Amino acid sequence: MFVSQRTISKFLAVACGLLSLLTLFSLRLLSSPCKCLNEKAKDRDSATVSTNINGHSRSEEHVDRRYTPFIFVGGFPRSGTTLMRAMLDAHPDIRCGQETRVIPKILLNIPKIFNLFSEKEKNRREEAGVTEDLLDSAVAALIGEIIAKHGEPAPRLCNKDPLTFRNLSYLARIFPKSKFIFMVRDGRAVVNSIIERKIVIRGVNNHRPEILLRTWNEAIREMNAQCEKLGQARCLRIPYEHLVLFPKESMKIVLEFVDVTWNNAVIHHETKIGKPGGVILSSLEKSTDQVKEAINLNALYKWSDRLSPSLLEYTDRIAPAMKILGYDTWKKWPDYRRMESIVTKYNKYL
C-alpha cells in the first residue's frame, strides 16, 4: 500500500510530540521529592496533583491509577454526553468539567507509537525493559494528570471526551477501578443534530446523511461491543431519550452505578451553572446553549421531519446497530417510552 511522504511526516510529527510529552512528564515525576518510604513504589502508577484555588496552594495528592475510581462519560458526539456530564457536575461530590480535547488524541495515537507497526520492534522494546505494564503506567499517569488538574478537585473525578470510547477497553485496562457511562441516541437524531449544528468531527463527512449514519453505525457498534465485553458492573449504557424522559430514574441508576449518594441537584443542573463547585460550561462547545436550559424534550423528534423519506425507509439496512440498541427503525415517530433499556427494565413504574 502506498503511503505518501506527507502522511509519513504527519505521523512522525505526532509520534515525536507524544513521545516528547511522555518523556518530559516522566522526568518531572522522577525529579519530584519522595513524600514517604513507599513513594517510589507509587511513582509509576500515580499522577501528582497540585491545585491552586483562589491563590491558595493545596497540598499534593496522588491519583493512583490502580485504585482511583474515575468516571468516564463517552459515546458518539451529539448523543447527550454533555447533558450527562453537566448533571454529574451538579453533584457536589463529582467534577467532570469541560472536554480536554487531548485525551482522545493521546488514546488514538498511543497504540501506533508503541507498536511501531512491527512485531520485531515490539519484541526489541520489551527486551529493553519497556514492557506493556510500564507503558500503561506512563500513559495512565499522563491521562490521570490531565483529568485531575484541568479543573477543581473533588471526591470523584470524571472525564467527558466522547470519542475516548473508541478506546474503552484500553482505558478500562489502565484504570481498573474506573466506571464508564456510555451515552447512546437514535442514530437519525444524531445525524440530524450534526448536520443542523454544523458539528465538525475529524475524518467524518458531516454533509451527507447516509454516509454519516453509516459512520455512526460503525462507531457505535464498536463502542457497544467494548462496553458489553466489560459488563454492566463497569459499563452502563444510558439512552439519551430515557435520560430526558425519565431524568430522576436515570440518574438514580447512574449514581448507584458509580457509588455516589443521591443528590437532587443532578436533575436541576441548570441551577448550578456558574456556581462555586457547580457546572462550568464552555463558550466554545456546540452543546452549551442547549445544556444551559432545564432538562426538556425539545430535541427528541427534530429529525423526523428533516431527514429524507428514503433515508428513513432504509435506516435498518444502513444502521443495524439501531436495533441492537433497541430503537424502532420503522416508525417515523417512535415511542421512546416503550423502548427497553436499563432505565425502563429496572424501574417498574415506567
CB 168 within 8 Å of CB 74:
yes
CB 156 within 8 Å of CB 93:
yes
Rounded to the nearest 5 degrees, what angle is found at the Cα of 103, between the Cα atoms of 54 and 257? 80
Coil, helix or strand at residue 64: strand
Q: How distant, in Å, are the alpha carbons of 20, 27, 142, 302, 333 from that of 24?
A: 6, 5, 10, 48, 54
Residues 6+ apart with CB under 8 A from 218: none
DSSP strand pairing (56-57 vs 52-53): antiparallel
Coil, helix or strand at residue 72: strand
What is the DSSP secondary-structure string of 299-330? TSSGGGGTS-HHHHHTHHHH-THHHHTT--SS
Coil, helix or strand at residue 62: strand
Burial class (CB in 10 A: 0-12, 13-18, 19+), 226: buried
d(CA 127, CA 11): 25
Residues belonging to the active site: 99
